[in-house]
A and B are shown apart, each in its own frame.
Chain A
Amino acid sequence: MIICNYLAAATLFCLGLLAIMLHRDLVKIVLGLSLMEGAGYLLLVSMAYRRDATAPVLSSPPPGTSAAELVRGRVSDPVLQNFCLTAIVIGVAVTAVFLTVAVRAGQHYRTLDADKLTELQG
């Protein structure tokens, strides 16, 4: 029942968003975004999954299947797995910048409370 995975991913995404909307600690907000990112990975890998399929590797097909069968499509979707790699790299990059900004903001404002980072309003 891959639909459970889909729903779990949707739930995680919304939980991450909830964290961003609720938590005032900058680091927890970053964690919320990481959770959303993780939800993305889960959804992608689950969408790539196919019943009775194997990994999209042509070198040593599992017993009982031939490479020709794999080529015809008895594998998980390699394109979505490729996108998942893309997402992971982007996640790392964004998190690095996020933490730097949080540290710098903390230095200026002497706090990590998002409600105190409100000099710019209106």
Chain B
Amino acid sequence: MTGSEVPHRAHRPVLAALLAVALLVLLSLGVGSLPGEAAALPAIARHAMQIALPRWGQAEVVSEIVYGSRGFDTFGETFLLLAAVLSVTVLARSKEPRAEYVGESTAGRREQREIDPEQAPDRREAQAQSAERDEDDEEAAPAAPPPDADRMRLAARAPEPAEAMTVVLRVTARIAAVFLAVAAIYLAAWGYSPGGGFPAGAGLAGVVILLYAALGHRRLSGLVRPSVLEPVELGGAVLIVGVGLGGLIAHGSLFANFLPLAAPQTILAGGDEQLYSGAELVEVGTGLVIAVFSLLGLGHDWVPDDDSDRGAQDQ
């Protein structure tokens, strides 16, 4: 199958609409008989309200549940995020030399040949290919800066689009970044936002992305490197595991509180929850940055070029 002659799928809109409407009826039946706004809170929720202050010293009940009573869900989520980051980095990785024969690559080349349309690359593709060759050629002199970001050649190596941004934009981004970063850390430190470290980590990642957009990759490349971020991320994960184990050792239950309770609404309130939230901040912030930058730095495709390919086959 080449997929070149795709049959007309006239049945789809009708069938899809029917299915969607039928499912809507089903779901409406379900949500229609939910208890609704007048029902009493479930006993579990009332229990959460009751223990938030005495047991965890935390006035923010949602945060208490996230990092306290149901801290293990959050723990799972942390590793979910880690799995996502790892998946993105695996999928966005560039080719590495392989020391031995991998039969699946041969199969992959065969499959690619079956898919590839028998036509010369169009203008955009040719442009991208030439840009790729430029990239491989380390010595090539950088082209002259473009007049503005919109006239950049597709996938050109240098200079970056950000360098063509106006001064106003770059300065504003720098100032905004400071405010955003402070706000994010404040969120986590005082834990008044539900979730604490999660939104704060997302905020910090946002700061990095803002700076990337305004200042360009090269300015940030010293900071945003996998060799820097990955150990930090691991540090966050280790801290979270440590918080969990602390509870296990002190009280025989993973994620039980093992730190003394400070007065509510102070920076140390919530026992080990604040530590957990801080670790989550590190984990989420670095994780998101790694994922976004892997996606942005998604380089060469893995479609075998005809000439580079033959060498790999002979290895």
Contact in complex: A119, B20 (CB < 8 Å): no
Number of A-B contacts (CB under 8 A): 186
**Known interface pairs A78-B48, A100-B92; A108-B194 also in contact (CB < 8 Å):** no
> Which bracket fits the contact residues of B?
35 or more
Contact in complex: A71, B50 (CB < 8 Å): yes
Stretch in B54-62, B177-185, B208-216, B228-236 touching the partner: B54-62
The closest CB in chain A to the CB of B73 belongs to A86
**Known interface pairs A85-B198, A108-B302; A15-B20 also in contact (CB < 8 Å):** yes
Contact in complex: A103, B295 (CB < 8 Å): yes
Contact in complex: B13, A58 (CB < 8 Å): no
Chain A residues near B301 (CB-CB < 8 A): 104, 107-108
Main secondary structure of the interface of B (DSSP, over half): helix
The closest CB in chain A to the CB of B26 belongs to A10
Contact in complex: A119, B1 (CB < 8 Å): yes
Contact partner of A59 among B50, B264, B284, CB < 8 A? B264
Query: A residues 19-60 with Cβ under 8 Å of B?
Result: 21-22, 43, 47, 49-51, 56-59
**Known interface pairs A43-B31, A108-B303; A78-B65 also in contact (CB < 8 Å):** yes
Contact in complex: B302, A81 (CB < 8 Å): no
Contact partner of B49 among A17, A43, A78, A85, CB < 8 A? A78
Contact partner of A100 among B36, B116, B295, B302, CB < 8 A? B295
Contact in complex: B23, A14 (CB < 8 Å): yes
Interface status of B46 (Cβ within 8 A of chain A): yes
Interface status of B87 (Cβ within 8 A of chain A): yes
Query: B residues 247-294 with Cβ under 8 Å of A?
Result: 264-265, 284, 288, 291-292, 294
Contact in complex: A11, B24 (CB < 8 Å): yes
- In the assembled complex, how far is the CB of residue B233 from the closest CB belonging to chain A, in whole angstroms? 14
Interface status of B189 (Cβ within 8 A of chain A): no
The closest CB in chain A to the CB of B31 belongs to A6
